[in-house]
Amino acid sequence: MMLDIVLDKLNGHAKDGKVCRIYISVGDTINADDNICDIESKKGSSTFKSNFSGVIKSIEISEGDTISLGAVIAKIEGEAVGVKEDNKKEDNTSSNKGASSFNYFAGLMKPKKEEISCDIAIVGGGPGGYVAAIEGAMLGANVVLIEKENLGGTCLNRGCIPTKTLVRSAEIYDSLCRADEFGLIAENVSVNMKKIIQRKNNIVEELRNGIQFILEKRNVRIIKGEGKLVKEDSLFVKENNTEITINAKNIILATGSKAMKLPILGADLENVITSNEALDLDKLPKKLIIIGGGIIGMEFAFMYSKLGVDVYVVEYFDSILATLDKDICDEITAIAKDNNIKLYTGCKVEEILKGEDNQSIVVFSKEDTKKYLSADKVLMAVGRAPSIDTAELEKFNIELTANKRAISVNDKMQTSLNNIYAIGDATNIIQLAHVASHQGVVAARNIMGKECSMNYDVVPSAIFTHPEIAVVGVSEKDAEKKGIEIEIGKFPFAANGKAMTYGEKEGFVKIIKDKATGVVIGGAIIGPHATDLIAELALAVKNKLTAEQITETIHAHPTTAEAIHEGALALEGGSLHFVN
């Protein structure tokens, strides 16, 4: 059947846009969801995708055209399904059982071949890969970026941004539930999870389009497909029906990480999910067990509990967020308990069983006692593993780390092969988006002859519990391990005017100074705006400022940043607005 591929969607409420790039050619066999063309409208750039499978018979637009919603883009022979129906009998008896119409056509059509050359080819379009691409292009490189799924990687599609949109909805719901405290009346407030998820999807899509827009403006060629190393300086990708060989002077591997599941009985039960699925749960569970009280586990624990879910966290270590200093752990533990989050620490999860009532039963041990908890959903948040093909890497003599789980790199982000670099979670050095981006910049600069190296001493970390937590530099634990003599200045948000007006007076600022030099070497904040406030301490630590220099800096009133000023004052003679 001949079908029209019609432009039915543009960014935002745009009505027309300019065709920037056409991915298809007459004779191409395409599948539903394959790229058709990029369109730039006033609302940004977006990739228009096919709704059909079949063979392109004609293309009705050209690059540079301005087209409106409703325009016919191409005509497609979409008899694919019919053809498959005709062949159903044969298909069902052959090993092709269930093969898609795409495969049928692909069998008939010869793929097109393309060979290109570039200065930098990057595999993976997450915050490591796409930032490396922009930096490389800005330094004058001819850059190709290969991504098999969506631009933005884990951070944008399954991590930082989607979780923060859900966290924001949960916070607003929580504030509405506390309306009376602020002299407001909010009645019949309830949660519409479908809308929350839709809002999250809209934000993710808008940001994704933004990345694509910037990459295109910087003339980065984006190829959609899975990049495979074929030689030390060559990659192969299949994009739609085109087989592309990319000869690259330099390659950056930025393939990211994936959520891990415990290798235990019941890990694959239907109701056992990871953060990936949790981000699309459009129906709230009544009761949720979270395995792992690390960063992901505790962010979800606060978010779900604010939305009214009965949350249980089972954690192997004796504390949640066990890598943090004890005072922060104690504070967040107390707040979690106040929020009715049930914490089971020092407990090892052993298996998950399916109950008769379709509930999942988590079996765990505390010392020698077996314990059981049941819930309608179980969220596993037990870490993320680098997403790499170790066999392929070893075939090319690309060295792995000692535990063989990640790609080994030097401080220039170079692997054991001079022209191949690796960045982000694939290197498993610190699994944070902003570290991946910085590594991407370092890799691109070194490739372009601007020598620089990665330094991990001052990496701020932000945790979106409620209240938020943020840390940077040396912790008390680190100082003890390294034998550094320190002094600590603390200031509670309970004594900060702005925090009081917010009704968010839990938590404190802690500043750590090297006793010998007076230099601020680390800090931690738990409280309102902690994840934004940490930037001041990061700047101080990175630039070796003394606590005295912070005290000499006027901080605006009334702001939560005054708590940092007061924390520094605590180190230099005493806070003005707090007495112990």
How far apart are the C-alpha atoms of 106 and 450, rounded to whole Å?
Answer: 45
Question: How many CB atoms are located within 10 Å of the residue 433 CB?
Answer: 21
Interaction between residue 460 and ligand NAD (CB under 6 A): no
Write phi, then psi, for 238 (nearest 5 degrees): -105, 115
> For ligand NAD, which residue of 122, 151, 382, 435 counts as binding (CB under 6 A)?
382
Check the CA dihedral 24-26-29-32 and report its sign: positive
Contacting residues for 386 by C-beta, under 8 A, at least 6 apart: 255, 256, 257, 405, 406, 407, 425, 426, 427, 428
Check the CA dihedral 284-289-295-298 and report its sign: positive
Residue 180 gets which letter from DSSP? Answer: G
Interaction between residue 316 and ligand NAD (CB under 6 A): yes
> For ligand NAD, which residue of 19, 76, 253, 296 counts as binding (CB under 6 A)?
296
Judged by CB, which is closer to ligand NAD: 201, or 276? 276
Length of the chain: 580
Does residue 275 sit in helix, strand or coil?
helix
> For ligand NAD, which residue of 152, 256, 293, 460 counts as binding (CB under 6 A)?
293
> For ligand NAD, which residue of 225, 383, 497, 518 counts as binding (CB under 6 A)?
383
Site for ligand NAD in 234-263 (CB under 6 A): 262
> For ligand NAD, which residue of 3, 230, 269, 322 counts as binding (CB under 6 A)?
322
Stretch that binds ligand NAD, among 86-94, 136-144, 212-220, 375-383 (CB under 6 A): 375-383
Does residue 438 sit in helix, strand or coil?
helix
Site for ligand NAD in 347-366 (CB under 6 A): 348-349
Half-sphere CA count of 5, side-chain side, radius 13 A? 29
- Residue 249, H or E segment: strand 242-253
Check the CA dihedral 18-23-27-31 and report its sign: negative
Judged by CB, which is closer to ligand NAD: 28, or 468? 468
Options 529, 557, 565, 577, the catalytic residue: 557
Does residue 449 sit in helix, strand or coil?
coil
Residue of minimal CB distance from ligand NAD?
A: 294
Interaction between residue 502 and ligand NAD (CB under 6 A): no
Which residue, 152, 156, 154, 130, is CA-closest to 143? 130
How far apart are the C-alpha atoms of 314 and 326, rounded to whole Å?
Answer: 19
Judged by CB, which is closer to ligand NAD: 431, or 439? 431
Question: How many CB atoms are located within 10 Å of the residue 410 CB?
Answer: 12
Interaction between residue 396 and ligand NAD (CB under 6 A): no
Minimal distance, residue 320 CB to ligand NAD, in Å: 7
Two tokens, residue 307: 């939305």
Clarify whether 555 is annotated catalytic: no
Interaction between residue 297 and ligand NAD (CB under 6 A): yes
Minimal distance, residue 324 CB to ligand NAD, in Å: 10
> For ligand NAD, which residue of 294, 440, 467, 489 counts as binding (CB under 6 A)?
294
Site for ligand NAD in 400-459 (CB under 6 A): 431-432
Q: Tokens 């041990």 label which residue?
A: 365
> For ligand NAD, which residue of 360, 408, 415, 461 counts as binding (CB under 6 A)?
461
- Cite the active site residues: 557
The residues that touch ligand NAD, with contacts defined as CB under 6 A, are: 262, 291-297, 299, 314-317, 322, 348-349, 381-384, 431-432, 461-464
